[in-house]
């Protein structure tokens, strides 16, 4: 690390815990992040038990949540936290003063533009020595929240239910938030450092104490039949928090013991690439990618536990009648590790970001939705070339995976043994495809990415493109002949409303699938 980088690090964050970092072998930024998250966990229990809606006014809860979040930013990032506070302040002025018909556009351009400018600056500061704990992480989360709120505000104040799905209607915001509500939503200590992003309406319901009672009403067995829903004891998040903290302990242990011994950059090492066999290179790539996941598992699961400890994240009662606390979960580890399709992996990884992309881009783009969503995702992550290699590579792989599944899966559903064999093969293919796709995301640079892809002979690119082209022609719809033309549709007064209802139902199911964590 050069003198310029050292100088930058000397100006950011508190140095109180520097001796701890030296003892654990972690950077000061990582230690500060960990300390704040552990403090947030303790504060979350206090927030739920002693600052509950029964004991404190919602404005007090908003203020405490926001002030603690700002304190965490200052402790971790010093004056760099000004970037986050500035973009929040500017966007609040936009939603208050700007034309409500265009507020979603203004907020998207402002928030994404500022985030991109910061990403560009970081390229020159870190020169591929990027840290996962620098100020850009909270800025990325704030960008999600700002744009989500702006689109939902536009839905509630402009569309008035017209052309909205059932989920968009539920989450629509009909009144501009006050300053303290806006600051609390964007900067609350539960999610300010690592997320996750959640909807404004769900968060406000949590602050007001309606978060759990509203979801209990969706489950008939939740009411005891005598006292009503308002008198039903709220389920405790204790078991969920303990379970997620155990997962965190396992992940951090794995990271400290295993992950450090399997550096990702070794996949692009000249000596390794030139002397190791293809099978050896493929095996190391697979193992090193698997070993890189636990640090993400740790950060996201700990953040989930913090939210649950505060009483936020209640999804409802599961099929067995037990409370589920996975509303704001960002990943499903079992779903990730056992994924048998590219889509299943994506749906279980960084779930809240996937919901955000769906909310602000995929559901609203008039055409080329898949490509635009991947491009927005890459731009949100940063400007390092590796991000764009990853997301552009994901497009043909996603198309090919859909086509292959549509073409061959039904042949393997005849018996349990055949289906098991199919699942094993598709699991291996999915994990190897994910490994190939996300490697540039971790290598970052063009040089390292090209070295890696050459060492892999671009085989996933070639297979995906060939499969997508071949199976696209196979399933291309044919023009009906004159003798086989279908009869004209019968138009009735209820056809349009039935279609809209079906569309809304499908959208709700899709949204639930994206957000579900088993």
Between CA 307 and CA 48 the distance in angstroms is 10
Q: Please pick, among 104, 154, 211, 381, the residue that the annotation labels catalytic.
A: 381
pLDDT tens per residue, range 394-433:
888 988 888 888 888 888 888 889 889 999 999 999 999 9
User: What is the radius of gyration, based on Cα positions, of the chain?
Assistant: 24
Q: Catalytic residue at 381?
A: yes
Q: Are 289 and 393 within one domain?
A: no
pLDDT tens for residues 125-146?
665 554 555 788 999 999 999 9
Same-domain status, 262 and 181: no
Do 250 and 137 lie in one domain? The reply is no
In a domain, 351, yes or no: yes
Q: Is residue 489 part of a domain?
A: no
Q: At how many degrees (to 10) do helices 385-408 and 446-455 cross?
A: 30
pLDDT band at 513 (very low <50, low <70, confident <90, very high): very low
User: In terms of pLDDT, which residue wins out, 501 or 452?
Assistant: 452
Residue 248: inside a domain: yes
The reply to whether 292 and 173 lie within a common domain is no
Per-residue pLDDT tens over the stretch 465-500: 998 888 876 555 444 444 444 444 333 333 333 333
Distance CA 477, CA 470 (A): 14
User: Rounded to whole angstroms, how far apart are CA atoms 380 and 448?
Assistant: 22
Is the pLDDT at 341 greater than 80? The verdict is yes
350 and 441 in one domain? yes
Catalytic residue among 186, 267, 350, 514: 350
User: What is the total count of domains within the chain?
Assistant: 3
Cα–Cα distance, 186 to 191 (Å, whole number): 8
Active site residue 350: yes
State which H helix or E strand residue 323 sits in: strand 323-324
The domain boundary, picked from 277, 310, 343, lies at 310
124 versus 345: the higher-pLDDT residue is: 345
Give residue for tokens 């002979």: 457
The domain in which residue 53 lies consists of 1-209
Task: Check whether residue 79 and residue 178 sit in a common domain.
Answer: yes
Residue 370: inside a domain: yes
What's the pTM value of the predicted model, to 2 decimals? Answer: 0.84
The string of pLDDT tens digits covering residues 361-381 is 999 988 889 888 888 988 899
Question: In this structure, is residue 85 part of a structural domain?
Answer: yes
Quick one: 349 and 306 in the same domain? no
What DSSP line would sit under 218-245, residue for residue? TSGGGS-SSS-GGGSPPPP-HHHHHHHH
| C-alpha span between 195 and 37 (Å, rounded) | 11
Q: Same domain for 275 and 182?
A: no
Residue 336 falls inside a structural domain? yes
348 falls within a domain: yes
């Amino acid at each position: 690390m050069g003198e310029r980088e050292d100088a930058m690090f000397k100006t950011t964050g508190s140095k109180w815990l520097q001796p701890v970092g030296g003892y654990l072998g972690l950077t000061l930024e990582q230690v500060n992040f960990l300390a704040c998250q552990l403090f947030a966990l303790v504060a979350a229990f206090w927030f739920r038990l002693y600052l509950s809606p029964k004991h404190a006014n919602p404005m007090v809860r908003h203020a405490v949540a926001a002030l603690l979040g700002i304190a965490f930013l200052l402790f971790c990032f010093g004056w760099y936290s000004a970037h986050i506070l500035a973009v929040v302040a500017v966007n609040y002025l936009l939603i208050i003063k700007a034309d409500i018909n265009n507020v979603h556009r203004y907020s998207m351009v402002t928030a994404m533009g500022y985030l991109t400018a910061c990403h560009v600056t970081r390229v020159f500061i870190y020169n591929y020595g990027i840290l996962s704990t620098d100020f850009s992480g909270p800025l990325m989360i704030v960008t999600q929240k700002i744009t989500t709120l702006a689109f939902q505000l536009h839905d509630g104040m402009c569309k008035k239910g017209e052309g909205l799905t059932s989920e968009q209607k539920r989450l629509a915001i009909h009144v501009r938030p006050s300053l303290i509500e806006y600051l609390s939503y964007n900067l609350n200590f539960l999610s300010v450092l690592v997320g996750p992003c959640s909807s404004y309406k769900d968060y406000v319901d949590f602050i007001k104490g309606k978060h759990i009672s509203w979801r209990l009403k969706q489950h008939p067995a939740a009411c005891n039949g005598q006292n009503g829903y308002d008198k039903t004891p709220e389920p405790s998040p204790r078991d969920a928090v303990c379970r997620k903290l155990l997962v965190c302990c396992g992940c951090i242990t794995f990271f400290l013991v295993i992950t450090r011994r399997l550096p990702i950059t070794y996949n692009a090492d000249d000596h390794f690439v030139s002397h190791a066999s293809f099978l050896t290179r493929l095996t190391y790539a697979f193992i090193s990618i698997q070993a890189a996941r636990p640090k993400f598992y740790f950060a996201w699961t700990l953040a989930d536990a913090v939210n649950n400890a505060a009483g936020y994240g209640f999804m409802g009662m599961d099929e067995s009648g037990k409370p589920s606390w996975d509303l704001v979960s960002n990943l499903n580890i079992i779903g990730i590790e056992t994924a048998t399709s590219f889509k299943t992996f994506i749906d279980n990884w960084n779930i809240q970001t996937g919901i955000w992309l769906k909310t602000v881009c995929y559901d609203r783009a008039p055409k080329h939705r898949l490509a635009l969503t991947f491009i927005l995702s890459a731009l949100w992550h940063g400007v390092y070339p590796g991000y764009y290699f990853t997301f552009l590579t994901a497009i043909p792989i996603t198309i090919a995976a859909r086509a292959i599944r549509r073409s061959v899966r039904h042949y393997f559903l005849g018996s349990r043994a055949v289906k098991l064999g199919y699942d094993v093969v598709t699991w291996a293919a999915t994990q190897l495809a994910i490994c190939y796709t996300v490697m540039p995301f971790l290598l970052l640079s063009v040089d390292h990415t090209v070295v890696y892809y050459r060492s892999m002979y671009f085989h996933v690119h070639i297979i995906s493109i060939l499969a997508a082209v071949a199976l696209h022609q196979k399933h291309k719809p044919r023009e009906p002949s004159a003798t086989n033309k279908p009869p004209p549709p019968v138009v009735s007064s209820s056809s349009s409303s039935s279609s809209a209802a079906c569309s809304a139902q499908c959208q709700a199911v899709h949204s639930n699938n994206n957000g579900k964590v088993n």
